[in-house]
Amino acid sequence: RRWWWTVMFVLAAAWWAHLYHSIWWLVMIGRRKEVSELKAWVSHWLWRKAGFVAWARPAESLAAVPAPAADEVAVVRSARSTGERLAVSSLKVAESNAQWPGEITLVIDPTVRFQTHEGFGTSFTEASAKVMQQMGSASQERIIDAYFSATTGLGFNIGRVHMNSCDFSDGNWSCCEEESDAELKSFSIERYEQAIIPLVRRAAKAAGKPLVLLGSPWSPPAWMKSNKAMCGGGHLADEWKEAWAQCYVRFAQAFEAAKLPLWGFTVQNE
């Protein structure tokens, strides 16, 4: 009889543990509503409890970083050993009169300015835009804010868009796929409307202002090149130089029509 009650007790305890965890998981799913959010929470839990570094932690918002004093620098640090996540602190700049062999003294006078910069930014690639579309809406917003929000993120204000496909695209393609189309009648940025342009617009909304956009080609269309391929070397054939130049014009006009005017171009990536 005693063993029977032991078995019943173990089964009852297992049933209760299963019921408890089932209810707990339902609550977690209900709170997050999105599978991606639940996965992020599980990854966070495993990282925190088991130390699985391979499991990524969910993105966290960066608090506004106050301007440092004249003799200080602002530091934003994340460290597993201390549990810091985007922790904001400051360090004083040490002054020293010590001289070292070969040392060069660099004097920075903040009252004298020689040049300006437009800002900092990132690339909008087809691959990253499509990956974003597969994520939950809450995760998408966190990522966009982390890059482009001036208050809770890096405040990026520049974006690069690849003209034709790039190394982070879903295959090789161009805006003008019809072979020997000298007048570019088949030119279209319809493919950009699927993922890239929506992401650029959301980024601009997070930034609170239009982004400084520039176009950059990796390769002319395959039919314009000597090797008839976008990869594997080759060069722009002489007979298509004018048509290739017009591709820049048409690309700029198409983005202008999409209310995303380009600030400039690079002649060629890298």
Tokens of 142: 């966190």
Tokens of 90: 């400051």
Contact 216, 263 (CB under 8 A): no
Contact 197, 188 (CB under 8 A): no
Q: With H, G, I as helix, E, B as strand and everything else as coil, classify residue 236.
A: strand
Instruction: Specify the DSSP class assigned to residue 225.
Output: B
Instruction: Specify the DSSP class assigned to residue 262.
Output: E
pLDDT tens digits for range 217-241: 999 999 999 999 999 999 999 999 9
Q: How far apart are CA 255 and CA 190, in angstroms?
A: 11
Q: Is the pTM of this model over 0.85?
A: no
Residue 141 backbone phi and psi in degrees, to 5: -65, -40
pLDDT tens digits for range 133-177: 988 788 888 899 989 998 888 899 999 999 999 999 999 999 999
Q: How far apart are CA 247 and CA 244, in angstroms?
A: 5
What average pLDDT does the segment 96-115 reach? 77
- The amino acid at residue 197 is I
What average pLDDT does the segment 56-73 reach? 72
Contact 76, 87 (CB under 8 A): yes
Boundaries of every domain in the chain: 33-58, 63-95, 121-265
Q: Which CATH class is domain 121-265?
A: alpha beta
Tokens of 248: 């820049």
